[in-house]
Structure 1
C-alpha cells in the first residue's frame, strides 16, 4: 500500500523504466508514457486496492497540443503538455480505452516518478474535467439531436457547427445550449425547440482576440441555423432565439445549472476524425 505521506499525485508521469517494470509498456517502447489518473485522495485510501493509470501516446508529428483536443474539448481524446525545465514540452495524447489498473502493492514496489516533466495547474484541471466528463456529460432529447442531424447542403448541422468552430477553437471554452423548459422533453413533430446558445470564450487569456473570435462564431451560427431551420418565428424544428458571445468570467453557477455544454457525440466516436471541437462535461476547464 502507499503511505499516507506519499508524494504521488494525479497527473504524475511514471519513468520509462518503472512503466516497463510494471509491464505497462515494453522496455524499448519510446512512443508511450504512463500517467497516474487515480484521484490524490484515493491514492492513500485503504479501501482503494489499485492505482489507475493511462497509457498515453507521444505526439511527434506536430509537437504541440491540438486546440481541438486540449482542455477536455473532446470526450474521448485529450492532449496534455508536460513542461520540462531544460527540454521541450512533452505532448501526450490520452484515450479512455488505454486505462489500466495496477495493484497498489505492485505500484508501491516498482513505480518511480519522472521528475524531469511536470503537469501545469491548468493542464491538471483539464485532465480532471476530461476524466469526469466521461460519465457526467449531458444527454439531450432524442428529438432535438435528430433535428441537429438535419442536412444543410452536403453536411449535417452538427458537421457545420464543427466547421464553424474549428478555426477559433483555441479561444473558446465551450458551447452551451439552453433549451429552457424543453430541456428534457421530446417535442412533437411541428413543435420547435426554442434554443439559446452561448459561445463562451476565454476572456482572461484570450482578451479582445478571443471576444472577436466568439462574436464571429456566434454570427456564423445564427446565419447557419436560420438558413437551415428558418427565422425563429416560422421555424418548426429548432428556433434559435439567441446566440451570443459570452466571456467565461460572466458565466455564473446559476447559468451553468440552467444550460448544458454540447458536444458532437457521433463524430467523436470516430477517433480518426479531427472535426469534433465541442467539449464534454458541464463545467468549463
Structure 2
C-alpha cells in the first residue's frame, strides 16, 4: 500500500516503461500515450482507499486553447514541463479513466520526474475533474428557449459556440445570471431576465484578452437581439446586460450568484473541435 510519505501526487505521469506493466488498464500504453494519476493527493496514501484512479491520455503536439482551462467537460489538454526545455502535452478524456489496485500500482508504477505539471495546470485538472459532477443545471424552459433557431436555422446556443470559438484562448468562462429566476420554470410569454459576464484572463491575456472579450460581448448582444428582440419587448429571453469582465474583478459573492454556461449538447460529439465549451462553476 502507499504510505503517508509517498511522493505521488494528483496529476503525476507514470514512466512509459512502468505504465506498460499495469495489467488493469483498458488500453495499451505506448509512446503515443501517457498515464496520468487523477486520484486526489489525500486519497493516495489513505488506507481505506484500495485503488488508484488514472487516465490513459493521448500525447498531442500542442495544447488546443479550446480544450484548456477546463472549458470542455469531457476533454482536457495539459502541458507538462520537462528538463532542458522539453515539454509534453497530453489530452485527457473521462472515457479513458481506469482503476488500478494500489498493490499493483505500488509494485510497478514509477513517477516520471522529468515531466512536471505546473501549479496552474494542476488547478485546471482539479477543476476539470470536479466539473464532471458539479456542472450547473439551468431551468428546462430557459434551455429550451436557447434552442430557438435564428438565421440559417441554427439554434442560439450553437451560435453562442461559434461566437466564442475564435477568441477562446484568453477567455476564462461565460457566466449567466438569471437572478431570482435561476431555478424557475417561467411560463410561456414571460421572459427570463438574463445578464451575461464574459470573463477574460486579465493577468495572462492583458489588453488582447480584454479586446477579445469585448468582441464576444458585442456579438452576443447582437445575437440575442436578433433572436429575442430588445429587452423591453422580449417574451422569451431579455438580455439586460452583457459585459466583458476581468477575472481579477470577479468576487466570491459574484460566483455564488451566477452559473457558468456550457454547451452540453455539443460536448457529446468529441470529434467536433470547432466549438468552445466553458464548463464548471468557478474559473481555473
* TM-score, normalised by the number of residues in structure 1: 0.96
Task: From 137, 149, 152, give the equivalent of 1:151.
Answer: 149
**Number of equivalences:** 281
Q: Which residue of 2 aligns with 1:122?
A: 120
Q: Distance in 2 between matches of 1:48 and 1:274?
A: 36
Q: Which string of whole-angstrom CA distances, capped at 9 and with x for unpartnered residues, describes residues 117-160 of structure 1?
A: 11111111100000000000100001111111111112111111
Asked if the contact 1:232–1:241 (Cα under 8 Å) also holds between the matched residues in 2, the reply is: yes
SS of the aligned residue for 1:146 comes to helix
Flag structure 1 segments of 5+ consecutive residues without an equivalent: none
The CA RMSD over aligned residues, in Å, is: 1.0
CA displacement at 1:87 relative to structure 2: 5.1
Asked if the contact 1:79–1:93 (Cα under 8 Å) also holds between the matched residues in 2, the reply is: yes
CA displacement at 1:275 relative to structure 2: 3.1
Asked if the contact 1:200–1:214 (Cα under 8 Å) also holds between the matched residues in 2, the reply is: yes
SS of the aligned residue for 1:144 comes to helix
Matches within 5 A, 1:84-95: 84-86=82-84, 88-95=86-93
Q: Which string of whole-angstrom CA distances, capped at 9 and with x for unpartnered residues, describes residues 64-96 of structure 1?
A: 111100010000000011111225321111100
Q: Which string of whole-angstrom CA distances, capped at 9 and with x for unpartnered residues, describes residues 198-235 of structure 1?
A: 00000111111111111111011001100111000111
Q: Distance in 2 between matches of 1:7 and 1:127?
A: 18
* TM-score, normalised by the number of residues in structure 2: 0.97
CA displacement at 1:16 relative to structure 2: 0.8
SS of the aligned residue for 1:282 comes to coil
Q: Which residue of 2 aligns with 1:257?
A: 256
SS of the aligned residue for 1:41 comes to coil
Moved over 6 A (4+): none
CA displacement at 1:281 relative to structure 2: 1.0
Q: Distance in 2 between matches of 1:82 and 1:39?
A: 18
SS of the aligned residue for 1:97 comes to helix
Q: Which residue of 2 aligns with 1:55?
A: 56
Q: Which string of whole-angstrom CA distances, capped at 9 and with x for unpartnered residues, describes residues 29-87 of structure 1?
A: 2211100000000001111110000000111xxx2111100010000000011111225
CA displacement at 1:254 relative to structure 2: 0.3
Asked if the contact 1:175–1:278 (Cα under 8 Å) also holds between the matched residues in 2, the reply is: no
Q: Which residue of 2 aligns with 1:71?
A: 69
SS of the aligned residue for 2:210 comes to helix
Asked if the contact 1:178–1:197 (Cα under 8 Å) also holds between the matched residues in 2, the reply is: yes
Q: Which residue of 2 aligns with 1:181?
A: 180
Matches within 5 A, 1:7-18: 7-18=7-18
SS of the aligned residue for 2:168 comes to helix
Asked if the contact 1:74–1:276 (Cα under 8 Å) also holds between the matched residues in 2, the reply is: no
